[in-house]
Amino acid sequence: MLSLPAFSAGEPLDYIPDGHVDVFDLIKAKRSGASVSEIKAVQNFLLGRSNGSSGSQYVPADYTVDESLILEPKGTVHTGDGTFYGGGYEGGCAMLDPVSRDYWIVAMNLADYNEGQLAGAYIEVTGELGTINMLVTDLLPEGKKGDLDLYTDAFPLIAPVEKGRVPVSWHIIPLDSAADAPVCYKYKEGTTEFWCEIQVRNHRYPITRLEYLDKNGEWVELPRHRYNYFESNKMGAGPFTFRITDIYGQQIIDRDIPLSYDDTEIIQGHVQFPE
């Protein structure tokens, strides 16, 4: 994984003086007129090719950033009401079954869930009693923007149960299982070479776009359903080359991904997003 060390604000590469280096420093470097070599230094750091970063086999190849696709700055804090419910480990709207019991799970309001954009997001949730990490597996249709519906066993960790509805704050954090493993894929039941739906899993940050490389060498965006699958009736028999974009505009390219008719198979990719 990419192990990014702490920096003192203002050190080289830290173009936004906040004590760490990420994709927003790369954007700031470009916008502030940094030289080609200075921009390349930030890119190399993010890719694990420079001092202070221990690269791994999952360091992304063909890593780029599309600034137009950035949903929000990393660390953006959201606020709303927190409630609790008993579902989500099976049959959640994000269709991430089977969901590991290693995670606390949470349902998210329609506005923030954004037609599946934050399906599988890993978030840090804070209430009056404490802070816990939770995986977004389900939808809270009646909630307003910022609202969360926590799994019933998780709610007491952040607020007294008798209150039922409490103020909470939350922000997106890196998925911990992505620290030492690549992204992976799951095909939906009924998939064939003539029609398929595919889901991206184990992504460090939420996914905003999935594209495949067609026979003409053009990137084709796949439409996404609210239930967290991307659909195509043109991809063919594979293997496929995918370009995946997260909500911070970070793009990785994953090659030689086979087609599978087995809807229980989890297919390992070869790359992962940087921190």
Assigned superfamily of 178-268: Expansin, cellulose-binding-like domain (2.60.40.760)
- Record the pTM: 0.81
CA neighbor of 182 nearest in space, from 73, 77, 56, 30: 56
> Residue 178 contacts by C-beta under 8 Å, 6 or more apart in sequence?
202, 203, 204, 272, 273
Query: In the CATH hierarchy, which fold is given to the domain comprising 78-176?
Result: Barwin-like endoglucanases (2.40.40)
Common-topology check for domains 78-176 and 178-268: no
**C-alpha torsion sign, points 230, 235, 239, 243:** negative
pLDDT at 44: 67
pLDDT at 241: 97
pLDDT at 114: 96
pLDDT at 35: 76
DSSP state of 250: E
d(CA 101, CA 210): 28
pLDDT at 25: 74
First to last CA, the chain: 9
Q: Which residues of the chain have pLDDT under 50?
A: 1-10, 49-56
104-109 and 130-140 strand pairing: parallel
For 9-59, the pLDDT digits (tens) are: 445 677 777 766 766 777 777 777 777 777 767 766 765 544 444 444 565
CA neighbor of 2 nearest in space, from 40, 57, 64, 39: 57
**Domain ranges within the chain, ordered by starting residue:** 1-55, 78-176, 178-268
